[in-house]
Each structure stands twice: as structure tokens, then as C-alpha cells.
Amino acid sequence: MKKIFALTVAFIAGFALTANAGSIAPGQMTKCNNASSITLENAGPANKSDDKFGYTSNDRGGANVVIWKSSNFTTVPVSLGPNDNNDSINATDGGRTGLPQRGGMGKHKVTLTKQNAFSRGDSIGDISGLVKITNTGTNSVTVTCN
């Protein structure tokens, strides 16, 4: 009886930590199978802080996922940082350096598109077969399999 109870609890716990395409909370995982595209969108809270230094408990509104691909058994980390500013310093120097402005704000959404006849299986472009997305960040992520 104890073994059946333990197996039932393990099954329910495993099912609770696995979600289908939709919003996944931190620590949860979802799967896409033979998708033509996979869209990842930061569903976490906005970056709001009353702290004088701007510190927040929500990782600046960013989201982090790890993508595992069965096509080549590789794992790829992806970060979505809509509040991260990657502007180069010459954006505010008034043109004194003579260099063009580079960088910009991070993205809150990214779409991975299946590449036909993809020869480099180590790339994120090969999303054929089973793809597992695990939320490793502090904010929720919306996953859409198309």
C-alpha cells in the first residue's frame, strides 16, 4: 500500500511540474513536438522598484528558460530581458566619439522558427522533434507551439 501511495504521489508531483504549452511558472517545464515555430514571451511582472538603487525581487522583469532539443540532445539557455538596456555609451556622448549608436533594450518575446534542411544540428534553429522548455528564472514565461 505504501508503494502505491508513493508512486501516486510521485506521478502527481511529476504531472504538476510539467505543463503543456501555455504559461509556465518558475521550475515548470513544457513540451513542443514537431512545431514549426515556438514563441517564448516574458509573462512576468514589470520592473517596478521603490528602492533607491532600483533593486527588485523580480530579476528586473526578465525571464530565463533552458531549451532541450531531442534532435541533437543539446541544451540552449535563452534570456528575455525587456528592461535590460544594452545601449553603447556613445549614445549619450553627443557624438563626440564619432561612432554610431549600438545596442538597445532587451526583448520580451522571441520566436524560434523551424529551419528546413538544417545542416548544423547544434544550433537553436533545429527545433524538429521533441523540444522541452524549462523555466529557470523568477518570472513566468508564456510558451506557444505552432
Q: What are the tens digits of pLDDT across the range 89-142? A: 665 666 677 777 777 777 889 999 887 766 555 566 678 889 999 999 988 999
pLDDT attached to residue 9: 47
Cα separation, 146 vs 144, in Å, equals 6
Q: Where are the beta strands (DSSP E) in the chain?
A: 18-19, 23-24, 29-33, 37-42, 63-69, 74-80, 109-113, 130-135, 141-145
Domain of 23 in residue numbering reads as 2-145
pTM over 0.85, yes/no: no
Poorest-pLDDT segment among 64-68, 74-78, 85-89: 85-89
Q: Is 82 left (phi over 0), alpha (psi -120 to 50) or beta?
A: alpha
CA atoms within a 13 Å half-sphere pointing along the CA-CB vector of 70: 10
pLDDT attached to residue 91: 57
pLDDT attached to residue 13: 45
pLDDT attached to residue 96: 72
pLDDT attached to residue 84: 73
**How many domains does the structure of the chain reveal?**
1
User: In this structure, how many other beta carbons lie within 10 angstroms of the beta carbon of residue 117?
Assistant: 4
Could you read off the pLDDT of 9-45 as tens digits, one per residue?
A: 444 444 444 444 689 999 999 999 999 999 999 986 6
User: In this structure, how many other beta carbons lie within 10 angstroms of the beta carbon of residue 131?
Assistant: 25
pLDDT attached to residue 82: 75
Dihedrals phi, psi of 18, to nearest 5 degrees: -115, 125
